Structures are given as C-alpha cells and as structure tokens.
Amino acid sequence: MAACAVTSRLFPALRGRLCRGAPCRARLAVCAFSRDAARTQLRRADGPAVLSGTVDRFGGVSVNLGDIGLPADISESSFGRLLQGSLLRWKAEGKVAVWLRVPITLSRCVAAAAAHGFAFHHAKDDHAVLALWLGDGESRLPGFATHQVGVAGSVVDEANGKVLVVQDRNKTKNAWKFPGGLSDPGENIGVTAVREVFEETGVRSEFRSLLSIRQQHKHPGAFGMSDMYIICRLSPLTYDINFCTQECLRCEWLDLAELAATSDTTPITSRVARLLLHGLERGFHTIDLAMEELPAVYSGMFYQLYHRQLPPTAAP
C-alpha cells in the first residue's frame, strides 16, 4: 500500500485505474515499478552525481562540501565514490586543480579525499582546505600564508624626549621593549599599533609612521613559520599609565637616551631608540616611512603604501 501511495503521487495519470479496481496483477506490477522509481529518487537525493563547484580564472575548481547539499551522515565510502566520479569529469574537462573546503563536521571525508591524492593545504577555525593538482608536471598551486605579523608602537613624547616602554610578564628576560602584539586579519598595521599600545598600557595614541621591519624565519612563537615584526612611531594623546598586569610586569615613560644606552633591552629596541633620537634631533622626516592609501587594481579596494616622503618638486 505504501508503494502504491508513492505511485499515486509520482504518476497521477495511473491513479484512476488503480482506484477503479484494476486487476491485482496489474496493480502489483505498477507498485513494483513505483518502488524502483522511489529508490531512484532517493539515490538522486543522496547528493549530486558530480560535486558542484566554482571555476577560477586559473582553471581550478573550488568545492565547498558544506554548501552543496551533501547528506549530514554521508559515509566515507559514499563520498569516495562521488569524488571519484567528479575527478573523472573534471579531468575530462581539462581542469588543472581541485580545492576541497571540508567543514569539521564532515571530517570523515578527508580520508576518502586523501585516497585520491588530495593533501592538506591549510586549516582554520571550523574547516580544512585540501588541494589536488591535476595539471601536467609538478604542482603549481600556491602555498598557504607563511608569515605572522607582529606590530609594536613606539609612543614618543616629543616635548621631553621620552618613550613608552613595557616589560613583558611572559618573557624569560625582563627587558624593556615597545608595547605590541599580533595584527588581526584584515587589520592595518597602524591600527594594530594603536590598539596594542592601549590594551597593554592604557595610553591612547595616534599613528605617525612606520620605522622598521624585522624578518625572522623558523620563529618558535610562529609554529616554526616566518615572522614579520613591524615598529611604528606613534604620538601620545594621553599620558597616564594603566598597564595590563596580565601581560606586563612594568610600564614606564623612559628617556630615549637611556633606552638607547641600557643593556636591559633587546637589540632591535635599542636600535630603534637610536633611530628615534636621530629623528628628535634632525626631524622625523629623516626617519619616517609615511603611509599613503592608494586605490588597488581590484575594483573598489585600496591598499596602504609606506615610503619616505617625496620632496615637493617630485610630487605629481
């Protein structure tokens, strides 16, 4: 009876014949056909015959498994068969690469993808991205981001030649340094410097320029990746210190000349202190890398360019 009910919904033209008392054999034959049709519908509802994705301008396919309607309980073997058919199609179409974004709730699909040659590219928060090169020769896929960006702010009081410094609580050596921390994704370095200075010291400031960039590879604090450490020059808007005791042991306004000469600091802090002294004596225009925001080639986007100021005669 259940199969006949399915038949009535799928094939309304047959409903009258069944209801008017068609012979039992005919009814059974139609019901058997309806069961096959129902099973076919269910197989199609399990997921698309080929994974759907978007094609990029380089000839690769990106597939987000969380957005294509896969059953929440799809098995590893079922996904493997689906992926195999998809790869055959993509190869036939001449696609050069496949990117799979796998939500953590579908992590069991990773093993099936690995069996077809996929490897981890990167992972973040609630998903991992796997990649497979289908083109000729060695893979030309770009690697994931390899750097973290740390930003510090040297807040200089030009009226008395003092600079704001802290001693970190989590360091093995209690050396004076400029307050700072890691830049958040999508955050400009000037914004990071101002934010970190306020969070660590309670002093409000404004961005003036970029002073230095340090690059270090195999950084222990960056999980063995590379680290960029940027120091910015800031001007104070407030002067009262209310430092974060969870991060800092001490926080003071220290004379720049003393910071440049003391052994209780780091080499980079000492070097930048000397640079700031030079700026105080001869003008900060001699040391500043000023920032200018310019339109990017991508429509509606902008970027920040840092460079020494051009003389007025060189301006366009």
Tens of pLDDT, residue by residue over 256-268, are 999 999 999 999 9
Which residues of the chain have a pLDDT value below 70?
Answer: 1-48, 171-172, 314-316
Both 185 and 79 in one domain: the answer is no
pLDDT at residue 219 in the model: 84
Both 67 and 127 in one domain: the answer is yes
- DSSP per-residue letters across the chain: -HHHHHHHHH-GGGHHHHHTT--HHHHHHHHHHHHHHHHHHHHHHT--SS---EE-TTSEEEEETTTTT--TT--HHHHHHHHHHHHHHHHHTT--EEEEEEEGGGTHHHHHHHHTT-EEEEEETTEEEEEEE-SSSS--PPPPP-EEEEEEEEEEETTTTEEEEEEETT-SS--BB--EEEPPTT--HHHHHHHHHHHHH---EEEEEEEEEEEESS-GGGTTSEEEEEEEEEEES-------TTTEEEEEEEEHHHHHH-SSB-HHHHHHHHHHHHHHHH-GGGT-BEEEEEE-SSTT-EEEEEEPPPPGGG--
pLDDT at residue 10 in the model: 36
pLDDT at residue 34 in the model: 37
pLDDT at residue 9 in the model: 39
Q: Give the tens place of pLDDT for each residue, 156-210.
A: 999 999 999 999 987 667 799 999 999 998 999 999 999 999 999 999 999 999 9
Residue 261 located in a structural domain: yes
Contact by Cβ (8 Å): 83, 116: yes
Number of domains in the chain: 3
Both 35 and 76 in one domain: the answer is no
Contact by Cβ (8 Å): 51, 83: yes
Name the residue among 290, 253, 294 with its Cα closest to residue 154: 253
pLDDT at residue 222 in the model: 83
Both 257 and 162 in one domain: the answer is yes
Contact by Cβ (8 Å): 91, 56: no
Residue 193 located in a structural domain: yes
Both 74 and 177 in one domain: the answer is no
Residue 163: CATH number of its domain: 3.90.79.10
pLDDT at residue 122 in the model: 94
Both 161 and 299 in one domain: the answer is yes
Residue 67 domain boundaries: 54-133
Both 61 and 124 in one domain: the answer is yes
Both 180 and 215 in one domain: the answer is yes
Amino acid at 203: V
pLDDT at residue 314 in the model: 58
Residue 140 located in a structural domain: no
Could you give the CA distance from residue 180 to residue 49 in angstroms, rounded to a whole number?
A: 52
